[in-house]
A and B are shown apart, each in its own frame.
Chain A
Protein backbone atom coordinates (compact mmCIF):
# COMPACT_ATOMS: atom_id res chain seq x y z
CA UNK A 1 0.00 0.00 0.00
CA UNK A 2 2.85 2.37 0.96
CA UNK A 3 4.56 1.69 -2.38
CA UNK A 4 1.37 2.54 -4.29
CA UNK A 5 0.97 5.77 -2.36
CA UNK A 6 4.61 6.73 -2.95
CA UNK A 7 4.28 6.03 -6.65
CA UNK A 8 1.07 8.04 -6.75
CA UNK A 9 2.75 11.00 -5.03
CA UNK A 10 5.73 10.86 -7.42
CA UNK A 11 3.30 10.82 -10.34
CA UNK A 12 1.50 13.83 -8.92
CA UNK A 13 4.83 15.64 -8.51
CA UNK A 14 5.59 15.08 -12.19
CA UNK A 15 2.08 16.13 -13.10
CA UNK A 16 2.35 19.38 -11.17
CA UNK A 17 5.64 20.13 -12.95
CA UNK A 18 3.65 20.25 -16.18
CA UNK A 19 1.33 23.00 -14.92
CA UNK A 20 1.19 26.20 -16.98
CA UNK A 21 3.59 29.05 -16.28
CA UNK A 22 2.58 31.23 -13.37
CA UNK A 23 1.41 34.67 -14.49
CA UNK A 24 2.03 37.79 -12.43
CA UNK A 25 -0.75 39.96 -11.09
CA UNK A 26 1.40 43.03 -10.47
CA UNK A 27 4.65 44.39 -11.85
CA UNK A 28 6.73 46.86 -9.91
CA UNK A 29 9.51 48.59 -11.83
CA UNK A 30 12.47 49.88 -9.85
CA UNK A 31 15.43 51.96 -10.93
CA UNK A 32 18.65 50.36 -9.72
CA UNK A 33 21.71 52.51 -9.06
CA UNK A 34 25.03 50.81 -8.35
CA UNK A 35 28.51 52.14 -7.78
CA UNK A 36 30.69 49.33 -9.22
CA UNK A 37 33.76 50.75 -7.50
CA UNK A 38 32.99 51.84 -3.94
CA UNK A 39 36.18 53.95 -3.96
CA UNK A 40 34.99 55.95 -6.98
CA UNK A 41 31.50 57.31 -6.46
CA UNK A 42 31.53 59.25 -9.73
CA UNK A 43 31.01 55.99 -11.62
CA UNK A 44 27.31 55.10 -11.36
CA UNK A 45 25.53 52.39 -13.29
CA UNK A 46 21.77 52.56 -13.67
CA UNK A 47 19.14 50.28 -15.08
CA UNK A 48 15.58 49.14 -14.55
CA UNK A 49 14.48 45.98 -12.87
CA UNK A 50 11.13 44.31 -12.53
CA UNK A 51 9.39 42.66 -9.62
CA UNK A 52 6.64 40.35 -10.84
CA UNK A 53 4.20 39.37 -8.10
CA UNK A 54 1.49 36.77 -7.81
CA UNK A 55 0.15 36.01 -4.33
CA UNK A 56 3.06 34.64 -2.26
CA UNK A 57 5.35 34.27 -5.25
CA UNK A 58 7.53 36.89 -6.89
CA UNK A 59 10.50 37.24 -9.18
CA UNK A 60 12.92 40.15 -9.19
CA UNK A 61 15.11 40.52 -12.27
CA UNK A 62 16.62 43.05 -14.63
CA UNK A 63 14.23 44.21 -17.35
CA UNK A 64 17.22 44.77 -19.61
CA UNK A 65 18.69 41.27 -19.46
CA UNK A 66 16.10 39.42 -21.56
CA UNK A 67 16.04 42.29 -24.07
CA UNK A 68 19.83 42.40 -24.20
CA UNK A 69 20.17 38.66 -24.84
CA UNK A 70 17.53 38.60 -27.56
CA UNK A 71 18.93 41.72 -29.28
CA UNK A 72 22.46 40.22 -29.16
CA UNK A 73 21.22 36.98 -30.73
CA UNK A 74 19.25 38.82 -33.43
CA UNK A 75 22.14 41.15 -34.29
CA UNK A 76 24.61 38.27 -34.21
CA UNK A 77 22.40 36.15 -36.48
CA UNK A 78 22.11 38.97 -39.00
CA UNK A 79 25.88 39.53 -38.98
CA UNK A 80 26.61 35.80 -39.32
CA UNK A 81 24.33 35.60 -42.33
CA UNK A 82 25.68 38.74 -44.02
CA UNK A 83 29.47 38.58 -44.22
CA UNK A 84 31.22 41.72 -45.43
CA UNK A 85 33.97 40.97 -47.98
CA UNK A 86 33.66 37.31 -46.98
CA UNK A 87 34.35 38.08 -43.31
CA UNK A 88 31.97 37.87 -40.39
CA UNK A 89 32.49 40.37 -37.61
CA UNK A 90 30.12 40.38 -34.67
CA UNK A 91 29.54 43.95 -33.50
CA UNK A 92 27.39 44.19 -30.37
CA UNK A 93 27.64 47.97 -30.01
CA UNK A 94 23.85 48.36 -30.14
CA UNK A 95 23.16 45.77 -27.46
CA UNK A 96 22.12 47.33 -24.13
CA UNK A 97 24.46 46.53 -21.25
CA UNK A 98 23.22 44.65 -18.21
CA UNK A 99 24.67 45.73 -14.90
CA UNK A 100 22.42 43.96 -12.44
CA UNK A 101 22.27 40.28 -13.32
CA UNK A 102 21.11 38.88 -9.98
CA UNK A 103 17.61 37.47 -9.78
CA UNK A 104 15.60 36.68 -6.66
CA UNK A 105 12.71 34.25 -6.59
CA UNK A 106 10.37 34.27 -3.62
CA UNK A 107 8.04 31.35 -3.09
CA UNK A 108 6.11 30.65 0.10
CA UNK A 109 8.42 32.78 2.21
CA UNK A 110 11.64 31.26 0.87
CA UNK A 111 14.00 33.33 -1.23
CA UNK A 112 16.34 31.88 -3.83
CA UNK A 113 19.10 34.03 -5.28
CA UNK A 114 20.25 33.42 -8.85
CA UNK A 115 23.69 34.60 -9.94
CA UNK A 116 25.76 34.43 -13.10
CA UNK A 117 29.50 34.05 -13.09
CA UNK A 118 30.72 34.07 -16.70
CA UNK A 119 28.81 31.17 -18.30
CA UNK A 120 27.92 29.43 -15.05
CA UNK A 121 24.60 30.06 -13.36
CA UNK A 122 24.21 29.51 -9.62
CA UNK A 123 21.19 29.43 -7.36
CA UNK A 124 21.27 29.34 -3.58
CA UNK A 125 18.81 30.02 -0.78
CA UNK A 126 18.95 33.26 1.15
CA UNK A 127 20.57 32.09 4.36
CA UNK A 128 20.38 35.20 6.55
CA UNK A 129 16.79 36.31 6.97
CA UNK A 130 16.48 40.08 7.33
CA UNK A 131 15.30 41.40 10.66
CA UNK A 132 13.62 44.77 10.18
CA UNK A 133 13.32 47.56 12.71
CA UNK A 134 10.33 49.77 11.90
CA UNK A 135 10.76 53.42 12.86
CA UNK A 136 8.36 56.35 13.26
CA UNK A 137 9.81 58.52 10.48
CA UNK A 138 7.69 58.94 7.33
CA UNK A 139 8.10 60.42 3.86
CA UNK A 140 6.07 60.52 0.65
CA UNK A 141 7.19 58.65 -2.45
CA UNK A 142 5.04 58.86 -5.59
CA UNK A 143 2.04 60.00 -3.51
CA UNK A 144 2.37 57.06 -1.11
CA UNK A 145 3.04 57.81 2.54
CA UNK A 146 5.94 55.57 3.50
CA UNK A 147 7.35 54.44 6.82
CA UNK A 148 11.03 53.94 7.48
CA UNK A 149 12.54 50.56 8.36
CA UNK A 150 16.17 49.58 8.81
CA UNK A 151 18.04 46.31 8.66
CA UNK A 152 21.57 44.95 8.54
CA UNK A 153 22.73 42.55 5.86
CA UNK A 154 26.31 41.40 5.18
CA UNK A 155 27.87 44.24 7.18
CA UNK A 156 25.81 46.97 5.55
CA UNK A 157 22.93 48.93 7.03
CA UNK A 158 19.95 49.38 4.73
CA UNK A 159 17.14 51.89 4.95
CA UNK A 160 13.81 50.94 3.40
CA UNK A 161 10.69 53.02 2.84
CA UNK A 162 7.52 50.97 2.63
CA UNK A 163 3.85 51.82 2.24
CA UNK A 164 1.14 50.02 4.17
CA UNK A 165 -1.28 51.41 1.57
CA UNK A 166 0.06 48.73 -0.79
CA UNK A 167 -0.39 45.60 1.34
CA UNK A 168 2.16 43.50 -0.53
CA UNK A 169 5.03 42.36 1.74
CA UNK A 170 7.54 42.42 -1.09
CA UNK A 171 10.27 44.60 -2.50
CA UNK A 172 13.35 44.68 -4.71
CA UNK A 173 16.15 42.11 -4.57
CA UNK A 174 16.16 40.37 -1.14
CA UNK A 175 14.39 43.23 0.64
CA UNK A 176 11.00 41.85 1.60
CA UNK A 177 8.75 40.97 4.54
CA UNK A 178 7.66 44.42 5.64
CA UNK A 179 3.94 45.18 6.18
CA UNK A 180 3.67 46.90 2.80
CA UNK A 181 5.49 47.23 -0.49
CA UNK A 182 9.01 48.65 -0.34
CA UNK A 183 9.14 51.70 -2.59
CA UNK A 184 12.75 52.63 -1.91
CA UNK A 185 15.72 50.92 -0.29
CA UNK A 186 19.39 51.84 -0.11
CA UNK A 187 22.45 51.20 2.00
CA UNK A 188 23.67 54.00 4.22
CA UNK A 189 26.73 54.55 1.98
CA UNK A 190 24.43 54.70 -1.07
CA UNK A 191 26.48 52.10 -2.95
CA UNK A 192 23.24 50.40 -3.98
CA UNK A 193 19.80 51.99 -4.33
CA UNK A 194 16.43 50.78 -5.61
CA UNK A 195 13.73 53.39 -6.27
CA UNK A 196 10.14 52.79 -7.38
CA UNK A 197 9.35 53.84 -10.94
CA UNK A 198 5.91 52.29 -11.42
CA UNK A 199 3.43 49.82 -9.98
CA UNK A 200 0.91 48.29 -12.35
CA UNK A 201 -1.49 45.39 -12.65
CA UNK A 202 0.28 43.33 -15.30
CA UNK A 203 0.07 39.70 -16.36
CA UNK A 204 3.51 38.46 -17.33
CA UNK A 205 5.03 34.98 -17.07
CA UNK A 206 7.12 34.41 -13.94
CA UNK A 207 10.07 32.53 -15.43
CA UNK A 208 13.04 31.70 -13.25
CA UNK A 209 16.60 31.39 -14.56
CA UNK A 210 17.14 28.08 -16.35
CA UNK A 211 20.01 25.62 -15.90
CA UNK A 212 21.27 27.13 -12.66
CA UNK A 213 23.53 25.03 -10.48
CA UNK A 214 21.74 24.69 -7.15
CA UNK A 215 24.21 25.26 -4.34
CA UNK A 216 24.81 27.37 -1.23
CA UNK A 217 26.25 30.85 -0.75
CA UNK A 218 29.61 29.50 0.45
CA UNK A 219 30.15 27.55 -2.76
CA UNK A 220 29.14 30.50 -4.91
CA UNK A 221 31.46 32.81 -2.98
CA UNK A 222 34.33 30.34 -3.44
CA UNK A 223 33.66 30.22 -7.19
CA UNK A 224 33.74 34.03 -7.30
CA UNK A 225 36.99 34.09 -5.34
CA UNK A 226 38.53 31.62 -7.79
CA UNK A 227 37.39 33.82 -10.66
CA UNK A 228 38.87 36.94 -9.03
CA UNK A 229 42.21 35.15 -8.54
CA UNK A 230 42.55 34.98 -12.32
CA UNK A 231 39.71 36.79 -14.14
CA UNK A 232 41.39 36.87 -17.56
CA UNK A 233 42.31 33.18 -17.35
CA UNK A 234 38.70 32.34 -16.51
CA UNK A 235 37.36 34.44 -19.41
CA UNK A 236 39.87 32.88 -21.81
CA UNK A 237 39.04 29.40 -20.54
CA UNK A 238 35.28 29.81 -20.77
CA UNK A 239 35.27 31.47 -24.18
CA UNK A 240 37.97 29.12 -25.51
CA UNK A 241 39.85 32.12 -26.91
CA UNK A 242 43.52 32.95 -26.53
CA UNK A 243 43.85 36.58 -25.48
CA UNK A 244 46.76 38.97 -25.90
CA UNK A 245 48.72 39.99 -22.76
CA UNK A 246 47.24 43.52 -23.11
CA UNK A 247 43.70 42.19 -23.14
CA UNK A 248 44.45 39.80 -20.26
CA UNK A 249 45.73 42.75 -18.20
CA UNK A 250 42.72 44.85 -19.16
CA UNK A 251 40.27 42.13 -18.10
CA UNK A 252 42.08 41.62 -14.78
CA UNK A 253 42.06 45.32 -14.04
CA UNK A 254 38.37 45.77 -14.93
CA UNK A 255 37.21 42.69 -13.02
CA UNK A 256 39.10 43.70 -9.88
CA UNK A 257 37.90 47.29 -10.06
CA UNK A 258 34.37 46.03 -9.40
CA UNK A 259 34.22 45.74 -5.62
CA UNK A 260 30.61 46.50 -4.72
CA UNK A 261 29.61 43.03 -3.52
CA UNK A 262 26.35 43.40 -1.67
CA UNK A 263 25.52 39.68 -1.37
Chain B
Protein backbone atom coordinates (compact mmCIF):
# COMPACT_ATOMS: atom_id res chain seq x y z
CA UNK B 1 0.00 0.00 0.00
CA UNK B 2 2.82 2.37 1.03
CA UNK B 3 4.65 1.68 -2.22
CA UNK B 4 1.49 2.27 -4.20
CA UNK B 5 0.90 5.66 -2.54
CA UNK B 6 4.54 6.63 -3.10
CA UNK B 7 4.34 5.62 -6.77
CA UNK B 8 1.11 7.60 -7.28
CA UNK B 9 2.65 10.63 -5.52
CA UNK B 10 5.71 10.56 -7.77
CA UNK B 11 3.49 10.11 -10.80
CA UNK B 12 1.34 13.09 -9.95
CA UNK B 13 4.30 15.29 -9.00
CA UNK B 14 6.08 14.27 -12.20
CA UNK B 15 3.07 15.13 -14.30
CA UNK B 16 2.75 18.50 -12.63
CA UNK B 17 6.40 19.40 -12.95
CA UNK B 18 6.23 18.41 -16.61
CA UNK B 19 3.26 20.75 -17.07
CA UNK B 20 5.11 23.54 -15.29
CA UNK B 21 8.06 23.32 -17.64
CA UNK B 22 7.75 26.16 -20.05
CA UNK B 23 10.18 26.58 -22.85
CA UNK B 24 10.93 30.24 -23.37
CA UNK B 25 11.59 31.06 -26.97
CA UNK B 26 12.26 34.54 -28.27
CA UNK B 27 9.43 35.63 -30.54
CA UNK B 28 10.33 36.54 -34.06
CA UNK B 29 10.50 40.26 -34.57
CA UNK B 30 10.27 41.02 -30.85
CA UNK B 31 13.18 42.41 -28.84
CA UNK B 32 12.93 39.80 -26.10
CA UNK B 33 16.52 38.65 -25.51
CA UNK B 34 18.41 39.90 -22.46
CA UNK B 35 21.04 42.02 -24.14
CA UNK B 36 23.17 45.05 -23.40
CA UNK B 37 21.32 47.87 -21.74
CA UNK B 38 19.51 50.16 -24.15
CA UNK B 39 17.64 53.33 -23.26
CA UNK B 40 15.12 55.47 -25.08
CA UNK B 41 13.67 58.85 -24.25
CA UNK B 42 9.91 58.91 -24.57
CA UNK B 43 7.35 61.64 -24.04
CA UNK B 44 4.14 61.20 -22.08
CA UNK B 45 1.30 63.51 -22.99
CA UNK B 46 -0.62 64.84 -20.00
CA UNK B 47 -4.01 64.85 -21.64
CA UNK B 48 -5.63 67.68 -19.65
CA UNK B 49 -2.75 70.17 -19.90
CA UNK B 50 -1.11 69.08 -23.19
CA UNK B 51 2.21 69.08 -21.37
CA UNK B 52 4.71 66.46 -22.48
CA UNK B 53 6.68 64.82 -19.66
CA UNK B 54 9.92 63.11 -20.53
CA UNK B 55 10.60 59.58 -19.37
CA UNK B 56 13.73 57.54 -20.03
CA UNK B 57 13.00 53.88 -20.54
CA UNK B 58 15.77 51.29 -20.32
CA UNK B 59 15.89 47.56 -20.85
CA UNK B 60 18.56 44.88 -21.04
CA UNK B 61 21.29 43.76 -18.69
CA UNK B 62 21.67 45.93 -15.58
CA UNK B 63 18.55 48.04 -16.19
CA UNK B 64 16.32 46.04 -13.89
CA UNK B 65 14.06 45.28 -16.86
CA UNK B 66 15.25 42.37 -18.96
CA UNK B 67 13.16 42.72 -22.04
CA UNK B 68 11.85 45.44 -24.30
CA UNK B 69 8.22 44.28 -23.97
CA UNK B 70 8.38 44.64 -20.17
CA UNK B 71 9.98 48.09 -20.46
CA UNK B 72 7.19 49.06 -22.82
CA UNK B 73 4.46 47.77 -20.49
CA UNK B 74 6.06 49.56 -17.51
CA UNK B 75 6.23 52.79 -19.45
CA UNK B 76 2.56 52.59 -20.47
CA UNK B 77 1.66 51.94 -16.84
CA UNK B 78 3.64 55.09 -15.89
CA UNK B 79 1.72 57.07 -18.51
CA UNK B 80 -1.60 55.74 -17.16
CA UNK B 81 -0.70 56.57 -13.55
CA UNK B 82 0.49 60.08 -14.36
CA UNK B 83 -2.67 60.83 -16.31
CA UNK B 84 -4.81 59.30 -13.57
CA UNK B 85 -3.34 61.59 -10.92
CA UNK B 86 -2.76 64.69 -13.01
CA UNK B 87 -6.08 64.53 -14.88
CA UNK B 88 -8.58 62.60 -12.76
Name A's B-contacting residues (CB within 8 A). Answer: 1, 4-5, 7-8, 11-12, 14-15, 18, 36, 68, 72-73, 76-77, 80, 87-93, 95, 97, 118-119, 231-232, 235, 238-241, 243, 247, 250-251, 254-255, 257-258
Q: What CA separation (Å) do A240 and B3 show in the bound complex?
A: 56
Interface of B is mostly: helix
Q: Are A72 and B44 in contact (CB under 8 A)?
A: no
Q: Are A8 and B9 in contact (CB under 8 A)?
A: yes
A253: shortest Cβ distance to chain B, in Å? 10
Q: Are A92 and B9 in contact (CB under 8 A)?
A: no
Given contacts A1-B2, A11-B9, A91-B47, contact A235 B72 (CB under 8 A): no
Q: What CA separation (Å) do A89 and B82 show in the bound complex?
A: 14
B contact residues around A119 at 8 Å (CB): 77, 81
A contact residues around B8 at 8 Å (CB): 8, 11
Q: What CA separation (Å) do A15 and B17 show in the bound complex?
A: 9
Q: Are B85 and A231 in contact (CB under 8 A)?
A: yes
A68: shortest Cβ distance to chain B, in Å? 8
Checking A14, A240, A241, A258 against B88 with a beta-carbon cut-off of 8 angstroms, the contacting residue is A258
Q: Are A90 and B16 in contact (CB under 8 A)?
A: no
Among residues 61 to 88 in chain B, which have CB atoms less than 8 Å away from a CB atom of chain A? 72-73, 75-86, 88
Query: Total number of A-B contacts with CB less than 8 angstroms?
Result: 103
Given contacts A80-B42, A90-B43, contact A15 B82 (CB under 8 A): no
Q: Are B53 and A241 in contact (CB under 8 A)?
A: yes
A130: shortest Cβ distance to chain B, in Å? 30
Name B's A-contacting residues (CB within 8 A). Answer: 2, 5-6, 8-9, 12-13, 15-16, 19, 40, 42-47, 51-53, 55, 72-73, 75-86, 88
Q: What CA separation (Å) do A88 and B43 show in the bound complex?
A: 6
Which of B19, B78, B84, B85 has the largest count of A CB atoms less than 10 A from its CB? B85
A–B complex contacts, Cβ < 8 Å, 8 sampled: A76-B79, A88-B43, A89-B45, A92-B83, A93-B47, A119-B81, A232-B85, A247-B53
Given contacts A5-B5, A8-B8, contact A90 B81 (CB under 8 A): no
A contact residues around B40 at 8 Å (CB): 88
Q: Are B42 and A255 in contact (CB under 8 A)?
A: no
Q: Are B43 and A251 in contact (CB under 8 A)?
A: no
Q: What CA separation (Å) do A241 and B43 show in the bound complex?
A: 11
B51: shortest Cβ distance to chain A, in Å? 8
Q: What CA separation (Å) do A243 and B83 show in the bound complex?
A: 13
Nearest chain A residue, comparing its CB with the CB of B12 = A11
Q: What CA separation (Å) do A7 and B43 show in the bound complex?
A: 54
Given contacts A5-B5, A14-B13, contact A92 B45 (CB under 8 A): yes
Q: What CA separation (Å) do A15 and B19 show in the bound complex?
A: 10
Q: Are B80 and A95 in contact (CB under 8 A)?
A: yes
Q: Are A235 and B73 in contact (CB under 8 A)?
A: no
Checking A15, A232, A258 against B12 with a beta-carbon cut-off of 8 angstroms, the contacting residue is A15
Q: Are A247 and B86 in contact (CB under 8 A)?
A: yes
Q: Are A14 and B12 in contact (CB under 8 A)?
A: yes
Which of B46, B51, B83 has the largest count of A CB atoms less than 10 A from its CB? B83
Q: Are B5 and A89 in contact (CB under 8 A)?
A: no
Q: Are A93 and B85 in contact (CB under 8 A)?
A: no
Q: What CA separation (Å) do A238 and B78 show in the bound complex?
A: 8
Which of A18, A88, A231 has the largest count of B CB atoms less than 10 A from its CB? A88
